[in-house]
C-alpha cells in the first residue's frame, strides 16, 4: 500500500511540473513577456477574448482599463484581443495588501503584447478600485492629468 501511495505522489509531482505544456501559445507569449519584465509567474489563471466597440469605451470599466494603457484603443477597435491572466510575484503592487502577489492580465493581438492591467492580491482574494497598468502604475501616472485625459477621452469617444 505504501508503495502505491509513493507511486501516486511521484506521478503527481511530475504532472505538476509540466504545467507549461498545457497552456496555449498566447499564454506562453504572455508568460515570456512577464518573465522578461522581471516578474515571477506563480500561477496561470486562464484565458479569454475581448473586443472593444467605440460605443463601449465610455463604460466605466472600459475607461478604467484604457486609462492604464500606454496606447490608444483606435487601432484595436472591433478587433479581437486575447487576454491571459496570471498571478505573479516581484511586481510593484505585491505588498499593497501584504500578500506578496499580484494578479495580472496581459492583452495580446496578432502574437504581440499590446497592454494589460494589474491588481494587488488581497487576503480575501477580492478586487476593489480601478486597475493599474501592467507595470503597476495608476491612471494618473500613465496619463498625467487624469481629469484632462478623461475629458478628452469622453470628447473623442462620445457619441
What's the confidence (pLDDT) of residue 89? Answer: 95
Q: Measure Cα distances from 49 to 52, 58, 63, 89 in Å.
A: 10, 19, 18, 24
Encode the chain in three state secondary structure.
CHHHHHHHHHHHHHHHCCHHHHCCHHHHHHHHHHHHCCCEEEEEEEEEEEEECHHHCCCHHHHHHHHCCCCCCHHHECCEEEEEEEEEECCCCCCCCCCCCEEEEEEEECCEEEEEEEEECCCCCCCCCCCECCCCCCHHHHHCCHHHHHHHHHHHHCC
Q: Which of 91-95, 124-128, 136-140 has the highest mean pLDDT?
A: 136-140
How confident is the model over 49-54, as a mean pLDDT?
97
Output the pTM of the full model.
0.82
What's the confidence (pLDDT) of residue 17? Answer: 42
How confident is the model over 48-67, as a mean pLDDT?
96
Amino acid at each position: 500500500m505504501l508503495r502505491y501511495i509513493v507511486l501516486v505522489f511521484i506521478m503527481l509531482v511530475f504532472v505538476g511540473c509540466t504545467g507549461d505544456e498545457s497552456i496555449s501559445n498566447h499564454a506562453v507569449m504572455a508568460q515570456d513577456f512577464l518573465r522578461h519584465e522581471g516578474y515571477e509567474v506563480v500561477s496561470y489563471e486562464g484565458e479569454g477574448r475581448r473586443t472593444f466597440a467605440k460605443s463601449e469605451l465610455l463604460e466605466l470599466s472600459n475607461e478604467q482599463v484604457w486609462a492604464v494603457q500606454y496606447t490608444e484603443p483606435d487601432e484595436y477597435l472591433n478587433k479581437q484581443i486575447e487576454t491571459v491572466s496570471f498571478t505573479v510575484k516581484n511586481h510593484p503592487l505585491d505588498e499593497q495588501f501584504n500578500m506578496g502577489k499580484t494578479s495580472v492580465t496581459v492583452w495580446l493581438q496578432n502574437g504581440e503584447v499590446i497592454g494589460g492591467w494589474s491588481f494587488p492580491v488581497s487576503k480575501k482574494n477580492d478586487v476593489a478600485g480601478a486597475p493599474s497598468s501592467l507595470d503597476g502604475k495608476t491612471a494618473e501616472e500613465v496619463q498625467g492629468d487624469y481629469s484632462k485625459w478623461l475629458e478628452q477621452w469622453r470628447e473623442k469617444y462620445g457619441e
